Every structure is written in structure tokens, then in C-alpha cells.
A and B are shown apart, each in its own frame.
Chain A
Amino acid sequence: MSQVKVLGSGCANCRRLAKSTEEALAGLGRPERVEHVTDYAAIAAYGVLATPALVVDDQVVIAGRIPALAALSEALAERLRAPA
């Protein structure tokens, strides 16, 4: 299992990224749930300058944009660990 987080203040863009990520995970048949991090201090700790951002296992994968679903699935598939 990997840890999947979406960083963002809860604005419309962040909710859209969280929703696309959930869709992408479901499409890949993954069991992970998306955790939404809205605390600014926690977001800053990742060194992210632009939100929304996608973090997989504490690695920043995407920052400041919402990729298309296909690109998102690809990026996730590359980084997710094999389910235990």
C-alpha cells in the first residue's frame, strides 16, 4: 500500500485534483484512499510552492496543476508500491 495525499487549501482546484486522483486510483484497481492535507504548515513542509499538489509516499509528484486523467493514472501507476 502506498500513501496518497492531495495538498491544498480546499479550493475548487484542490477538490478537482482529489476527485481525479480517486478516479485514477479506482481505474487502476488500487485500494488506496486519498488523504486531503489542508494545513498550510504541513503543506509548506513538503516544500510545495503551488497548490494543488499530489504526494505519493511523501514524494511530490505534481504541483500547481491538474493533469488529464490519463496522465494522472500514468504518473500514479509509476509510483505506487505493489499492494501488500
Chain B
Amino acid sequence: MSAMAARARVAEERHPLWLLGAATLGWFALYHFLLPFWDWLLFTAVSTPEGPRWADALHFFCYDSTKILLLLVGIVFAVRILRSFLSLERTRALLGGKREGLGNVAAAGLGVATPFCSCSAVPAFIGFVAAGVPLGVTLSFLIASPMVNEVAVVLLYGLFGLRIAALYVGSGLLIAIVAGAVLGRLRLERYVEPFVLEAAATAGAAGTVELQPSWSERIALGREEVRSILGRIWPYLLAGIALGAAIHGWVPTDFFARYAGPGNPLAVPFAVVLGVPLYSNAAGVLPLVEALHAKGLAMGTLLAFMMSVVALSLPEMILLRRVLRPRLLACFVGIVAGGILATGFLFDAVL
């Protein structure tokens, strides 16, 4: 095993692009045979009876957890490699000269593409303000980044198809652009904690050296990222899938449709409020969303729930409170929540 790992390491250094190609082919083959494999294993090889609820739940759990795992490994790896061409430093330089308006659009787009973890929200905020990026533009970046992340988009695509994924990305970007533009227009700079501006005055000039990584280094970065993200989210993921499997097997088909279907005007606000204290990420929420959707909950309500969980989480707000005074933070939450509500109602109406 260690000899194999050593050989893979050598191949990674000498022929990184060949290895990348082979890994891509292997990934697609695995993904293609996943469903036939579980069908065969559970219903033919072990002859699990097809019909009882627990068998249904078991099949859902096995297939979904392996499918999501495979999707995550592939996507996180690929996105990290793409992102190795971009950095927070470069994004900041790109946004530095931008005015509000076009700047908000650019910031939202770059928020999707730039490597960024939510614990970096505060240093990134200070660094952006220090470089002269306008407050509203910085906020567009900070909203788009967690909401439209690669894990969310690809899982939506894998579970619900291209149309839903595109709707999610489009509305997420729109919320980030509009919320940032509105917050910028409100001239709330005086509600930024004063230490930010002091830190900004001393920080601005210090820049870190930027090196272009080689391909084998990019592959190493991708591997590192897969390990770190999976290590962090697997408990959420398993809990989400187990809960999803239970809902899949035991909750009557139109249970939610009766109580929280498109006809109920309180469904969307309730979903948004419910999402705030829940701290999870897209990977943990999506299996749940998939199971709830199958039981008749409307897609708009579910998208609103998901956006609320990832973009309006309590820990994120506690972090932002360090740099934003309560008044600005309240405006921030209010405007983003408004955007999410609008998205939920709109999609419930049109889908």
C-alpha cells in the first residue's frame, strides 16, 4: 500500500497532467456505476426485500452518501485547482479601483470564485477596506462567498438538475449585488468598528509574496482541500443523510405539502427563520432538502431555507459583529433576509 502511495507520489511530481486525466476518467466511471452497484448489492446479492420502509431508507442512505461523497471529492478537488489561479490578494487588487455599482457585480462574481473560509471573514473585511474597496462592494463579496459556494452549486446540480442549480446561482448573485449596492448607498461607514479603520491605516501596504504554483503543487493543494473539507463536514453530511433517509422511508408522501406547501404564505418566512440558528453547510443541508422535496415541500421554500442556513448563520453574524456595529449588522441581516424571502416567494410562484 505504501509502495503504491509512493509511486503515485512520484507520478504526481513527474506527470501531473496525465495523473489528473486518469483520475478524471476513473471518477466518471465510478459515478456512472454507483446506482447499478447499490441496486445489485442490496436487492440481488443480499436479496433485501424490495418494499418495506427500512429497505427503502437503507438504499437511500447507501446510494446518497456514496454519491454525495464522490461528488464532493471531485468538485472540491477541481474547484481548488481552478482557484489556485486566483487568490484573495488578487481579488482585492481587482476590486480596489472599482466604484460602487459595477464593483458590486464584480465583487459578487469574485466572491464565488475566490478561495475563502468563513473564519477569514473578518481579516478579509479589514484587508479589503484597507485597500480602499468601498464598503458596499466588500459586503457584496462577503454575501456571495458563502451563499454561492461550489459545494452548494454542484450538489444542487447533482440532486436536482441544471435548472435549479442555475436559479440558485442567479438569485444568490442577485441578492449579493443588490444587498451590497443598497448597503453602500446607505452610507453606513460610520457604523464600522473604529479599530478596523485604524488597522486599515497600518496594514494597507504589507503584501505577501505571490508565487505561481506548479501543477504538482496545485494537485497537492486540491488533495489538501478535499481532506480538510471532508474532515470538517462529514458529521453534518452523515446526520443530514440519515435524517433524509428517515424522512424518505417514514414520512407520508404529502405530509409537508399539506402543512407547508406552496399554498401556505407562512412557509417561506418560517423556513428562513428556522435556517438562522441552524449551523451547517450546503453538504449537510442538501440531503435534507432532497428528502423534503420528495415529500412535497416547494422548491422555493427549500432554496430559501438553504440560503438562510448558509448565509445567515448565527456564528457568521457573531464574527461580523466584531467589525460591524449593531446598526450596520442589523441592516445587513435585514436586507439579506429580504432578498432570501423574495427568492423563496418568487420560486414558489413560478416553479
Contact = CB atoms under 8 A, between A and B. Distances in A.
Contacts of B89: 49
Given A40-B322, A47-B203, A49-B88, A64 B120 contact: yes
A9 B207 contact: no
A50 to B, nearest CB: 4
22 contacts: A8-B119, A9-B119, A13-B119, A40-B195, A40-B323, A41-B199, A44-B199, A44-B202, A45-B203, A47-B204, A47-B206, A47-B207, A48-B127, A49-B88, A49-B120, A49-B123, A49-B128, A50-B115, A50-B117, A50-B120, A66-B224, A67-B224
Contact of B117 (A41, A44, A46, A64): A64
A51 interface: yes
A74 B200 CA distance: 32
A41 B323 CA distance: 10
Interface in B111-168: 115-117, 119-120, 122-124, 126-128, 130
Contacts of A64: 88, 115, 117, 120
B50 interface: no
Given A49-B88, A65-B221, A44 B126 contact: yes
Contacts of A25: none
Interface residues of B, number: 36
Nearest to B204: A47
B208 interface: yes
B232 A44 contact: no
Nearest to B129: A44
Query: Interface size for chain A: under 10, 10 to 19, 20 to 34, or 35 or more residues?
Result: 20 to 34
Interface in A62-80: 63-68, 71
Nearest to B198: A41
Given A40-B195, A50-B117, A68-B224, 7 more contacts: A40-B126, A44-B196, A47-B203, A47-B208, A50-B120, A52-B119, A64-B115
A81 to B, nearest CB: 20
A46 B138 CA distance: 20
B206 A46 contact: yes
Given A9-B122, A13-B119, A64-B88, A45 B202 contact: yes
A13 B204 CA distance: 25
Contacts of B323: 40
Contacts of A71: 220
B228 interface: yes
B59 interface: no
Given A9-B319, A64-B117, A40 B203 contact: no
Closest 5 CB pairs of A and B: A47-B206, A11-B119, A44-B199, A49-B88, A49-B127
A51 B120 contact: yes
B123 A65 contact: no
Given A47-B203, A64-B88, A40 B122 contact: yes
Given A47-B206, A49-B123, A50-B88, A65 B195 contact: no
A40 B199 CA distance: 9
